[in-house]
């Protein structure tokens, strides 16, 4: 069965009641450290949409966490990785957390939890 992406484009409600429109832009990776994969999204707050104000945020996915997941279960598709990143971003927006690298980096336990929440097939 083909995986159907859910989180490439979505809306999230911030704690202040402002709606945020989120859209996946592109993916990449770093060649340093554990070679994390990066997923870039555009976040536009509804109140700022008139002015065209938006910010680009990156969600990181640990290369070591990915290797561990792949060794234990299976490789994730590009769409599944985008959805993992999108789901984490949505949770952070709804919790009112800063959209920075400290809060937007997926490690081992978080990867397994998000994959379970998404119902990623094994």
Residue 3 within any structural domain of the chain: no
How many structural domains is the chain composed of? 1
Strands 37-45 and 105-106: unpaired
Whether the model clears a pTM of 0.85, i.e. scores above it, the answer is yes
Residue 89 within any structural domain of the chain: yes
Residue 1 within any structural domain of the chain: no
DSSP H helix total and E strand total for the chain = 3, 5
The whole domain housing 25 covers 9-118
**Strand, coil or helix: what is 72?**
helix
Handedness of CA 114, 64, 10, 42 (dihedral sign): positive
Instruction: Collect all residues with Cβ–Cβ distance below 8 Å to 64 and sequence separation of at least 6.
Output: 34, 108
Report residue 4 as tokens: 């159907």
Name the pLDDT band for 96 (thresholds 50, 70, 90): very high
Residue located via tokens 């990066």: 38
Residue 2 within any structural domain of the chain: no
Report residue 61 as tokens: 């996915």
Residue 4 within any structural domain of the chain: no
Residue 107 within any structural domain of the chain: yes
Residue 75 within any structural domain of the chain: yes
Residue 70 within any structural domain of the chain: yes
pLDDT digits (tens, 9 = 90+) for 26-67: 999 999 888 999 999 999 987 655 655 789 999 999 999 999
**Strand, coil or helix: what is 122?**
coil
């Amino acid at each position: 069965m083909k995986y159907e992406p859910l989180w490439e484009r979505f809306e999230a409600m911030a704690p202040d009641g402002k709606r945020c429109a989120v859209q996946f832009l592109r993916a990449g990776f770093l060649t340093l450290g554990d070679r994390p994969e990066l997923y870039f999204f555009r976040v536009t707050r509804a109140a700022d949409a008139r002015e065209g104000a938006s910010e680009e945020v990156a969600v990181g996915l640990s290369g070591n966490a990915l290797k561990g997941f792949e060794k234990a279960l299976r490789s994730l598709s590009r769409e599944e990785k985008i959805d993992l990143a999108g789901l984490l971003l949505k949770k952070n927006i709804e919790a009112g957390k800063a959209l920075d690298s400290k809060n937007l980096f997926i490690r081992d336990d978080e990867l397994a939890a998000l994959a379970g929440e998404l119902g990623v097939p094994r």
